[in-house]
Chain A
Amino acid sequence: MKSQISNAMLLAIIINIVYAKAIGVTQGIIARQAGGDMWIVTIFSTLFGLLIMSLTVLIIKRTPEKNILEQTKLLVGKWGEKLIALLMFTFFLGAYGGIMITVVYHLMDYFLPEVPTYIFVALVTIVGVYGIMKGVEVIARLAVLGVFSIIVLNILLLLGSLDYFEIESFLPVLRNGFFNAVEVTKHHNADWAMATLMVAIILPMVKQKEKWMKYSTKALILGGGFILMWPILEVGVLSPEVAGQYIVACMQMARSAEIGLFVHRYELIMVIFFAISALIQVMMCLLCASISAKHIIGGNNLNFLLIPVAVILGVFGYWVVNDHIRAMDLLTYYWPRVAMPITFAVPIIVFLLGFIFKKKLTKGNLDAPS
């Protein structure tokens, strides 16, 4: 695969693909299940993400010119490739539902309650397809702007909320027990899984493979840091009980933030600055689902698959978000059960297959066209 983006751009994409959903919708669910420990859950989950990301980078480094699906084909043949591609497609299909919940509910619940749901889904999907058509490099440049936006948003929110911060809300620490905190990480793990599985697909497009590990690790730490500010503020300012009452907890945080009379109710600021991160999620999810579909079908031209895949993901996304209760049930109870096995199983299986069929990763095989 042709090198197209730099490691710094990869870092920006990783931060963006996790941020938008992780600060709001995910934190609301975590608040309901882990209470005041939501910030600890976020830290644990970031550590899990770090582990899986390192494993993913190690896997791709074995065949730097091939993504995880092409490597699987090399190891166990085309049916193995199709199986993994199907799992990946399923993951990105489900993840698209989560992303739609994030994007649509931010806009619909707080700004445009009378606009039909399908308009949100259709417009967001169309913009996503437009971004993919312009190429990964353009998405990566947009992601760099997304990181600037994230930094600005975090600073503004910090300035607007610190007056109401109460340290007592954090006590007692690990109030629901260590194992509960670990178990609840599944919600945020599913967010990090978007990053790790995306990296498994796009890493061969990144230049300078010797820096892959350094930058992906850095992205996890920076992204984790940017996200961690939110549960800390949500606990310290809103309190976990209040944060848990809302589907989009971050918007409630934003609504209560203010700097003087004229910079009040941050919802608009929040949406403006987090929109790029949300759109990066949409674009990368569509792109990775399309690449997975290409490997399932066995075709060569990605462009032909973009529109059908966008339609499938869009229709699924619409079905998910059209009913708030269904959306939150799916995201809270069913999505982790689907996402967790794929998140851990795909990299571990491919890693082990690489050990078993080490001989197939010889130079001659690596040079063969995929």
Chain B
Amino acid sequence: MDLTKQLEQDVFVRLKQNLDEIEKLLGNSSDVVKRDFFIMNNNTFEATLIYIDGLVDETKIEETVLAPLLNNNRDLQFLSELTKSEEIATALTKKLLLIPSINKVSTFQDVINELLAGNTVLFVDHCVQCFVLATQGWDTRGIEEPQSDTVIRGPRDGFVESIRANTALVRRRIRDPMFRLQSLQIGKRSKTDVAIAYIDGVVREGLVDEVLERLNRIKIDAILESNYIEEFIDDAPNSPFMTVQGSERPDKIAAGIYEGKVAIFVDNTPFVLLVPTHFWTFLNTSDDYYTQYWMGSFFRFIRYIAFIISLTLPSLFVMLVSFHQEMIPTPLAITIAAGREIVPLPILLEALIMELAFELMREAGLRMPKQIGQAVSIVGSLIIGQAAVEAGLVSPIMVIVVATTGIASFAIPNYFASVSIRLIRFPILIASGVLGLLGFATIFVVVLIHALSLRSFGEPYLAPVFPFSSSDQKDTLFRAPWWAKEKRPADVKDEPERESENQKPSPEK
């Protein structure tokens, strides 16, 4: 009999047959634990508990399952009168077991699924069903400050690897009865728990169905991280731009849900996805909303400048120095020329080598243990940089340009968005070095047209700037004060009001 047919079978009435079948299905895995016993130590009802070691809370099993079932002191009179399997099932669920959540299943497929999910299965001889006891409990990392998306002011809790802990972190922030969580499993073998979260009535009409449809379309053996999901539901799978946002911050995800978005939680990863995503959100941080709005707007403005520098500074420098020297003010042009006097490399090659060296140092610093990583960065950037300039291999101004570009790219809060911008920088740089302004303009416009053509779950990626929505400009380049942001984003149709009108504070008259 093949595996599918074996799994589709109903559980047997006899305990021994069931145990044999489980053994056939799971093999002799060393972490599968079987505990045989007689209910109430009465030889009439033989039973076996099966669970996977490490996935269950053994204390819970002991206190809520084994203890009540092995208790000799209780009145056993009613047990001896039971003959039908339904009566046994009712007695177990309603009179004997203390565990809060019990389900009955009748196929081996369900039994195996529940066992692998960390639940305990109770087989009782002569009973046509078996009982699934919710005993999930494994060691998890404690809630800590997220490694990415750090803030100066704001909550310090970050998502962990447990989907339930993560949904609870968001649920704590959204005490709305209309908050909805829908769960599903993806991965033929991994059976990874995935959940989507949204607020009914606030979420854009049709978005939940669209998300579910895309998730249900995924056919893969295993999902190990949310990026697996991201790549399957992405609107632009071949684009360097990210049209799905991932975050470790529960406050960021909750804020997105309040704005009508859908969050996608994936078990075993602290990165929760948020859709639809607009490009500009990658330049925003949670701090923007937690600090005074002038400060929030100023830092956001700085990040926009950082984005432009990160994307274009090396290309503009190479373009001007190679082809359009007359555009550089004379004193600056002389300084640049003096610095490059002994450099043997063409400027494009010099820029490419420096950019690649910077990326190398960044990657090395990231992969090393933290303390060594810092040392590598310092040695790389200071000592090698200084030596390269003194040896005449690179010009000092090129070091300044590349370092400024690197620092600007680190100012982009979302690490992965920053990497995608760094990727785009290289073709623009090469085109600028080969064809000057023509190359720069051509590749830049191609990238721009590409970005303009992108959508994230039906919404233009560059919205609300392109297409322009005047009502949404209160949270794009500048962050308006909370008392001025009366409405949610324009695409939230059902409940557009976020707050009451005229809440600007003023001294009492």
Seen from chain A, the residues whose Cβ lies within 8 Å of a Cβ on chain B are 6, 8-9, 107, 111-112, 115, 119-120, 123-124, 127, 130-131, 134-135, 138, 141-142, 144-145, 261-262, 264-265, 267-268, 271-272, 275-276, 279
Q: Beyond the given A111-B324, A141-B462, could you list 9 further A-B residue pairs with CB under 8 A, ordered by the A residue number?
A: A111-B437, A112-B437, A127-B445, A135-B453, A144-B468, A145-B448, A262-B329, A265-B326, A272-B441
Chain B nearest CB from A65 CB (Å) reads 23
Nearest residue (CB) in A for B467 is: A141
Q: Assess whether B438 is in contact with A9, with CB atoms less than 8 Å apart.
A: no
Q: Please, how many angstroms separate the alpha-carbon atoms of A267 and B327 in the complex?
A: 8
Interface size on B, residues (CB 8 A): 24
Interface residues of B in 224-256 (CB under 8 A from A): none
Chain B nearest CB from A116 CB (Å) reads 11
Q: Assess whether B441 is in contact with A119, with CB atoms less than 8 Å apart.
A: no
Residues of B contacting A279 with CB < 8 Å? 445
Residues of B contacting A264 with CB < 8 Å? 329
Centre residue among B436, B450, B452 by max chain A CB count within 10 A? B452
Q: Assess whether A130 is in contact with B435, with CB atoms less than 8 Å apart.
A: no
Is B442 among interface residues, defined by CB-CB distance under 8 A?
A: yes
Residues of B contacting A124 with CB < 8 Å? 442
Q: Assess whether A144 is in contact with B467, with CB atoms less than 8 Å apart.
A: yes
Q: Please, how many angstroms separate the alpha-carbon atoms of A262 and B330 in the complex?
A: 9
Contacting B438 at CB < 8 Å: which of A119, A135, A265?
Answer: A119
Q: Assess whether B327 is in contact with A131, with CB atoms less than 8 Å apart.
A: no
Cβ contacts B242-279/A at 8 Å (1 or 0 each): 00000000000000000000000000000000000000
Q: Assess whether A141 is in contact with B445, with CB atoms less than 8 Å apart.
A: no
Q: Assess whether B435 is in contact with A6, with CB atoms less than 8 Å apart.
A: no
Residues of A contacting B449 with CB < 8 Å? 127, 130-131, 134, 138, 142
Q: Assess whether A265 is in contact with B460, with CB atoms less than 8 Å apart.
A: no
Chain B nearest CB from A221 CB (Å) reads 19
Q: Please, how many angstroms separate the alpha-carbon atoms of A131 and B450 in the complex?
A: 8
Is B416 among interface residues, defined by CB-CB distance under 8 A?
A: no
Q: Assess whether B442 is in contact with A138, with CB atoms less than 8 Å apart.
A: no
Residues of B contacting A144 with CB < 8 Å? 466-468
Nearest residue (CB) in B for A275 is: B441
Chain B nearest CB from A115 CB (Å) reads 7
User: A interface, by DSSP: helix, strand, loop or mixed?
Assistant: helix
Between A and B, 15 residue pairs with Cβ closer than 8 Å are A9-B467, A112-B435, A120-B438, A123-B442, A124-B442, A134-B449, A134-B450, A135-B453, A141-B452, A142-B448, A144-B467, A144-B468, A262-B329, A272-B441, A276-B445
Is B26 among interface residues, defined by CB-CB distance under 8 A?
A: no
Residues of A contacting B466 with CB < 8 Å? 141-142, 144-145
Chain B nearest CB from A127 CB (Å) reads 6
Is B323 among interface residues, defined by CB-CB distance under 8 A?
A: yes
Contacting A107 at CB < 8 Å: which of B326, B332, B437?
Answer: B437
Q: Please, how many angstroms separate the alpha-carbon atoms of A261 and B449 in the complex?
A: 34
Interface residues of B in 55-72 (CB under 8 A from A): none
Contacting B327 at CB < 8 Å: which of A8, A9, A265?
Answer: A265
Residues of B contacting A261 with CB < 8 Å? 329
Contacting B437 at CB < 8 Å: which of A6, A8, A268?
Answer: A268
Nearest residue (CB) in A for B442 is: A123
Interface residues of B in 410-444 (CB under 8 A from A): 435-438, 441-442
Chain A nearest CB from B280 CB (Å) reads 14
Residues of B contacting A120 with CB < 8 Å? 438
Is B383 among interface residues, defined by CB-CB distance under 8 A?
A: no
Is B400 among interface residues, defined by CB-CB distance under 8 A?
A: no
Nearest residue (CB) in B for A131 is: B449
Q: Assess whether B438 is in contact with A115, with CB atoms less than 8 Å apart.
A: yes
Contacting B323 at CB < 8 Å: which of A111, A119, A135, A265?
Answer: A111
Q: Please, how many angstroms separate the alpha-carbon atoms of A267 and B326 in the complex?
A: 10
Residues of B contacting A134 with CB < 8 Å? 449-450, 452-453
Q: Please, how many angstroms separate the alpha-carbon atoms of A123 and B438 in the complex?
A: 9
* Given known A8-B468, A144-B466, A265-B327, contact A127–B452 (CB-CB < 8 A): no
Q: Please, how many angstroms separate the alpha-carbon atoms of A85 and B438 in the complex?
A: 33
Residues of B contacting A130 with CB < 8 Å? 446, 449
Q: Please, how many angstroms separate the alpha-carbon atoms of A144 and B465 in the complex?
A: 9
Q: Please, how many angstroms separate the alpha-carbon atoms of A105 and B295 in the complex?
A: 45
Residues of A contacting B452 with CB < 8 Å? 134, 138, 141-142
Chain A nearest CB from B450 CB (Å) reads 8
Nearest residue (CB) in A for B462 is: A141
Q: Assess whether A107 is in contact with B438, with CB atoms less than 8 Å apart.
A: yes
Q: Assess whether A141 is in contact with B460, with CB atoms less than 8 Å apart.
A: yes
Residues of B contacting A131 with CB < 8 Å? 449
**The 10 A-B residue pairs with the shortest CB-CB distance in the complex, in nearest-first order:** A134-B453, A141-B466, A138-B453, A141-B452, A268-B327, A138-B452, A111-B437, A123-B442, A275-B441, A131-B449
Q: Assess whether B467 is in contact with A6, with CB atoms less than 8 Å apart.
A: yes
Q: Assess whether A275 is in contact with B445, with CB atoms less than 8 Å apart.
A: yes
Q: Please, how many angstroms separate the alpha-carbon atoms of A186 and B69 in the complex?
A: 99
Q: Assess whether A271 is in contact with B441, with CB atoms less than 8 Å apart.
A: yes
Q: Please, how many angstroms separate the alpha-carbon atoms of A111 and B326 in the complex?
A: 9
Q: Please, how many angstroms separate the alpha-carbon atoms of A107 and B435 in the complex?
A: 11
Chain A nearest CB from B58 CB (Å) reads 59
Residues of A contacting B323 with CB < 8 Å? 111-112
Residues of B contacting A267 with CB < 8 Å? 327
Q: Please, how many angstroms separate the alpha-carbon atoms of A115 and B437 in the complex?
A: 11
Residues of A contacting B460 with CB < 8 Å? 141
Q: Please, how many angstroms separate the alpha-carbon atoms of A342 and B457 in the complex?
A: 44
Chain B nearest CB from A126 CB (Å) reads 8
Q: Please, how many angstroms separate the alpha-carbon atoms of A145 and B467 in the complex?
A: 9
Cβ contacts B165-180/A at 8 Å (1 or 0 each): 0000000000000000
Residues of B contacting A8 with CB < 8 Å? 467-468
Interface residues of B in 316-374 (CB under 8 A from A): 323-324, 326-327, 329, 332
Residues of B contacting A135 with CB < 8 Å? 453
Nearest residue (CB) in A for B436 is: A112
Q: Please, how many angstroms separate the alpha-carbon atoms of A141 and B435 in the complex?
A: 27
Interface residues of B in 451-474 (CB under 8 A from A): 452-453, 460, 462, 466-468
Chain B nearest CB from A136 CB (Å) reads 11
Residues of A contacting B462 with CB < 8 Å? 141
Nearest residue (CB) in A for B441 is: A275
Residues of B contacting A138 with CB < 8 Å? 449, 452-453
* Given known A135-B453, A141-B466, A144-B468, contact A112–B441 (CB-CB < 8 A): no
Q: Please, how many angstroms separate the alpha-carbon atoms of A144 and B452 in the complex?
A: 11
Nearest residue (CB) in A for B332 is: A262
Residues of B contacting A271 with CB < 8 Å? 437, 441
Nearest residue (CB) in B for A106 is: B437
Nearest residue (CB) in A for B330 is: A261
Residues of B contacting A265 with CB < 8 Å? 326-327
